[in-house]
C-alpha cells in the first residue's frame, strides 16, 4: 500500500511533467489497427523517475537526446494494464490533467469493448 501523500506527490509530478494518451497502431501495412493506453512522465533527472518506478512497482524508463541539445530527457512509460493501474492510482489527486486522463480512459474502455465483442 502506497501512502496517500506519496501518491499525491506523484500525481502532482504527473500534472506538471506527464501525459496520457490513447495511441493507435497498425500491426503491418494493411493490417489490423489496435490502440494502447499510455502514460508518460518526462524529466531530465532520472533519479526521480527511478523513485516513481520503485514506488509503483512497474513501468519502464527510456532516455532520449533532447532535440538540438546534448542533454538526455528520460521518460517513465507505462502502457495498457499498467497504464490503467497507474492512472487509477493518481487520478483522485490530479488537478490539471484529470479531464485528459478521463478522456483517454473512456477511449480505452470503448476500444476494449469493441475488441472483446468481435
In order of their start, the domains of the chain are 4-117 (3.10.28.10)
- How many other CB atoms sit within 10 Å of the CB of residue 63? 12
Q: What is the pTM of this model?
A: 0.88
Q: What is the pLDDT averaged over residues 7-33?
A: 91
Q: How far apart are CA 117 and CA 38, in angstroms?
A: 22
Distance from C-alpha of 86 to C-alpha of 82, rounded to nearest angstrom? 6
**65 against 7, higher pLDDT:** 7
- Cβ(39)–Cβ(10) below 8 Å: no
Closest CA to 74 of 97, 51, 93, 101: 51
Digit-coded pLDDT (tens) for 26-54 = 877 877 888 899 999 999 999 999 999 99
pLDDT at 59 over 80: yes
The answer on pLDDT for 113 being more than 60 is no
Amino acid at each position: 500500500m502506497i501512502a496517500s501523500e506519496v501518491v499525491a506527490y506523484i500525481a502532482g509530478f504527473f500534472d506538471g511533467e506527464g501525459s496520457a494518451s490513447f495511441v493507435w497502431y497498425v500491426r503491418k501495412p494493411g493490417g489490423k489497427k489496435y490502440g494502447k493506453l499510455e502514460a508518460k512522465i518526462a524529466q531530465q533527472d532520472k533519479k526521480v523517475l527511478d523513485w516513481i518506478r520503485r514506488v509503483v512497482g512497474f513501468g519502464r524508463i527510456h532516455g532520449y537526446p533532447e532535440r538540438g541539445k546534448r542533454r538526455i530527457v528520460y521518460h517513465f512509460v507505462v502502457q495498457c494494464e499498467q497504464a490503467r493501474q497507474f492512472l487509477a492510482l493518481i487520478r483522485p489527486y490530479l488537478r490539471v490533467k484529470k479531464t485528459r486522463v478521463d478522456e483517454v480512459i473512456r477511449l480505452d474502455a470503448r476500444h476494449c469493448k469493441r475488441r472483446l465483442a468481435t
